[in-house]
Amino acid sequence: MNLRLLAESSTVAEALEAARARAPFTVHPRREVAADGQRMLVVDPRAGYPVRGLPERTLHGQYPAAPQ
């Protein structure tokens, strides 16, 4: 998720400025089950990440098969 924050900046200087402007926040990820039954790893929105959560399967390298 930190890479997603970095991707919001166009330059190193912008990334450093954004990082310095963010208040420190301890992230405690937790597991939830989405409405479609997918298991998710989620973080508190106050952490400031551009996404609230990710499917657990993507965190373990279990990506869907590429289209043929």
* Per-residue model confidence as pLDDT tens digits over 22-38: 888 898 889 999 899 99
Cα distance between residue 21 and residue 38, in whole Å: 34
b vs e for 20-42, b when ≥16 Cβ sit within 10 Å of the residue's Cβ?
Answer: eeeeeeeeeeeeeeeeeeeebee
Q: Which strands sit side by side in the sheet containing 39-42, from one edge to the other?
A: 30-33, 39-42, 53-55
- Which residues touch 26 (CB under 8 Å, ≥6 apart)? none
Weakest-pLDDT range from 1-5, 29-33, 58-62, 64-68: 64-68
What is the pLDDT at residue 10?
95
